[in-house]
A and B are shown apart, each in its own frame.
Chain A
Amino acid sequence: MATKYVGNRVKRTEDPRLIQGLGHYVDDIKLPDTLHVAFVRSIYGHARITGVDASAAAKAPGVVAVYTGKDIGKIGGVPCASDLPEMKKPEFLVLASNKALFVGHAIAAVVATDRYLAKDAADMIQVDYEELPAVTEEVKAAAGAPYVHEQFGTNIAYKLTAGEGDIAAAFRSSDKVIKQRILNQRLAPIAMEPRGVLARYYPGEQELTLWSSTQIPHLMRTQVALMLGMPENRLRVITPEVGGGFGSKLNVYAEEALLGWISMQLGQPVKWIESRRENFQSTIHGRAQLGDLEIGIRKDGTVTGLRYNVFADMGAYYQLLTPAIPTLTGLMLSGSYKIPAIQINVTAVFTNKMSTDAYRGAGRPEATYVVERAMDLVAAELGMDPVEVRRKNFPAPNEFPFKTATGLFYDSGDYVLALEKALKNADYKKLGEEQKKARAAGRLVGIGVSTYVEICALGPSAALPAGGWESATVRIEPTGTVTVLTGASPHGQGQETSFAQIAGDELGVSIEAVTVIHGDTSIVQYGIGTFGSRATAVGGTAVFVALQRLKEKASKLAAHLMGVDPATVKFADGRFTSGAKSMAIQEVALHAHLAKSLPEGMEPGLSATYFFEPKNFTFPFGTHICIAEVDKDTGEITLQRYIAVDDCGRVINPLLVDGQVQGGIVQALGQAFYEHVVYDENGQLLTGTLMDYALPRATNCPWMELDRTETPSPVNPLGVKGVGEAGTIGATPCLVNAVIDALAPLGVRHLDMPLKPETLWRIISGNSARSA
């Protein structure tokens, strides 16, 4: 089958509307008589709420209603989909009534005729607090009182041990066990578009419609229906344009249910658009793991075992997947290496902070960072080239599917191939020589390497809390246009383009004739959503298989219409041909709808629906290399080069893949050098604006020299693996490794992120104790 689109750099069909400002985000949807909601949120990390006086606010101009924790009795708690043995389960009500457990915890909602009046009235609400001691440090939290949730008598949310192989024996048989404490600091996802909800209830139809900036419209429908105790089929969730999510919108938040409920109370549409301050306080954070790594090695660099004892900061409550994130860290601790024994011991703790949850990579960047730092620690310990340590521990291509001691089967891979390509692109040998010269001249230049593997295409349903499949419906309309309905709900990734490419090639039609529809639960069949680098591998496969089914039917109908033996019909370039006879697929579609002449037993219409259940995850991989220089005077870092070779299986659209890799590397840059959500010891959020929380900017980004290897995945017929998170996962350790390598002559082996210039300056100037 000729591929006109798949594999080519097709420009995003989404972009013309987006760059002209013609897209519709939640806030662009204006319904008549809409009321606006403003929240009163806790200014304490931990406090007893001794009184809420809303009397002045209730009388303020434009105010229609004020709700506090006492008014919302029947709304169910914020859902958490994951469940682990002996996990403590706090109930997270949509408004706090007795205690506020984190800064930003919603206490009251004011509804007014406009956004300004709502905010003015919210400021009039007097909340009386009795401040309680806050729990902010993981290790202290695990040790004992004070407690975030008194009723549990502990801050430990759960403990979990996973992994295979005899770790104690592995360490005993090692020549050396290297230990290192490693921090994956708390990060804020900061999607460009904050969250937002518009809710409209029609009392007559008893139908509630929620427009929400989310990654998971269908799961939200199910969960909000449960929270509100309403029939799921009377709730419609519409996801208009979504301005980024990075996992933060893979959630069902208090506001979604509450807005729906308020609209039902008032019989009018209600809207809430999150401010950036609220976004910092009450949209999930990511990472926040502090762990102790132990890695056993032989003198030749062979890794014998790896143990990671990690404290995972849950925040005050669970959001949708909060407790599950550290389990993903556990799964990925083998990295791209053969490690016979692996153990993770998770101690998940509650703290007086916003919940953590999935943030681009969700548990996997944490693991990759630990493993890739470990490889460099091994190299430093043995005086080996970090590349050689890695190469030594790779599984060979013929060992795939490769079973790890974390219980995974890596689908396919050729790790040496990607490594060699990256080394060649970087001219690694020359880099080493240049570094020697630079060092001799007193400069602090470092080379960073990371050879990552990641887990994508989440995933088999058995491994996910709420279904790991994805759905697609494809139709050819009577006039010949093609409609693709996907349950994956893209939010910036470009699936309107890539799915149209698949349909265009499979049906031999122009992509202009294809419309990809997503994000409306009343139009699209149930689906799971876009997260975990799954949309193409799982959702795209559903589209692909549905297209095959559609073609099978069309082919039979074409044979019938042309009066030929179905076995003789061939399909190419949009036409069914048998001998001299030929028919365009569009004609066939029209006949399918007119239904004047159908083969015996054939249903009218031309559409096919497929729900694809993947048998395994996919495992993309790659090698990243970068060169960093540290300014001896100020500790500031400059990146001189960035080289990446990624293997995400078969590529549908190189332009989209490059975009994902670049965006991922930039977010890694954020974690490595800039970002850190800081709460003080009272639970006050100190990085509450973009004036204080540093995101990487275009001017901070290195030129990225991107390249690929293509190892098809055997898990799906498209052979794709996924690439949405790879950049973040591969790049974070690469960047940190480079800076640590730059400081290696000063005896530095490890530093915690973000690598702030002051920290580096203190080391360079001998102003601080060196990290061992």
Chain B
Amino acid sequence: MRLEGTHELHAPRDKVFAALTDPQVLARCIPGCESLEKQAGDVYTAKLSAGVGAIKGVFQATVRMADMRPPEHYRLIVEGKGQPGFLKGSGDMDLTEKDGITSIHYVGEASVGGLLASVGQRMVESAAKMLAGKFFSALEAEAQK
């Protein structure tokens, strides 16, 4: 599944990038994040209770950041595993700033497996988009602080 989108954040790029790479901020922004701990380098482990509406699942996830070029680019690699199956995704984040507004453009590939894939195929894409939307609006609020 290919995921692509652009979100506009009313905050300067430096602050957005700093927020994006701050584990404490991330923990507050990732929907359903119950804990996020920094492991070696740019690798984090997280416990996510991700869900949409009545549908919820608990995931153990690792989040890795690579190709860091502050404040304009990095690559995000997420792998999660839980009772409803697993999810994997990686994407390139490109940040540009214009008139005090930072655009984050992401392009990535994601795949899900297990229950999520076999019973959720009609909704996974919408769910991914929705969670991304939630994440970026929380991030915007953080970057405006």
Contacts and interface: CB of A to CB of B under 8 A. Distances in A.
A280 interface: yes
A101 B118 CA distance: 17
B52 to A, nearest CB: 16
Interface residues on B, range: 10 to 19
Interface stretch (A163-171, A337-345, A480-488, A687-695): A687-695
B119 A684 contact: no
Interface stretch (B2-10, B26-34, B62-70, B108-116): B108-116
Interface residues of A, number: 17
A688 B119 contact: yes
A277 interface: yes
Contacts, number: 41
A246 B76 CA distance: 48
A686 B114 CA distance: 9
Contact of B118 (A44, A123, A682, A686): A686
Contacts of A603: none
B1 to A, nearest CB: 9
A689 B121 CA distance: 10
Interface in A108-127: 123
Given A43-B86, A123-B83, A680-B111, A280 B117 contact: no
Chain B interface helix/strand/loop/mixed: mixed
Contacts of A686: 117-118, 121
Given A44-B113, A680-B111, A685 B118 contact: yes
A680 B121 CA distance: 11
B122 A692 contact: yes
A449 interface: no
B85 interface: yes
B111 A103 contact: no
Contacts of B112: 684
Interface in B74-131: 83, 85-86, 111-115, 117-119, 121-122
Nearest to A280: B118
Contacts of B118: 103, 277, 280-281, 684-689
Interface string A682-725: 10111111011000000000000000000000000000000000
A208 to B, nearest CB: 34
A688 B85 CA distance: 13
A106 to B, nearest CB: 15
Contacts of B86: 43
A281 B85 CA distance: 15
Nearest to B122: A692
A267 B93 CA distance: 60
A43 B85 contact: yes
Contacts of B83: 123
Contacts of B85: 43
Nearest to B85: A43
A43 B119 contact: no
Interface of A: 43-44, 103, 123, 277, 280-281, 680, 682, 684-689, 691-692
Given A277-B118, A684-B118, A685-B118, 11 more contacts: A43-B115, A103-B114, A277-B119, A682-B111, A684-B113, A684-B117, A685-B117, A687-B118, A689-B118, A689-B119, A692-B119
10 contacts: A277-B118, A280-B118, A682-B113, A684-B113, A684-B118, A685-B117, A686-B118, A688-B117, A688-B118, A691-B122
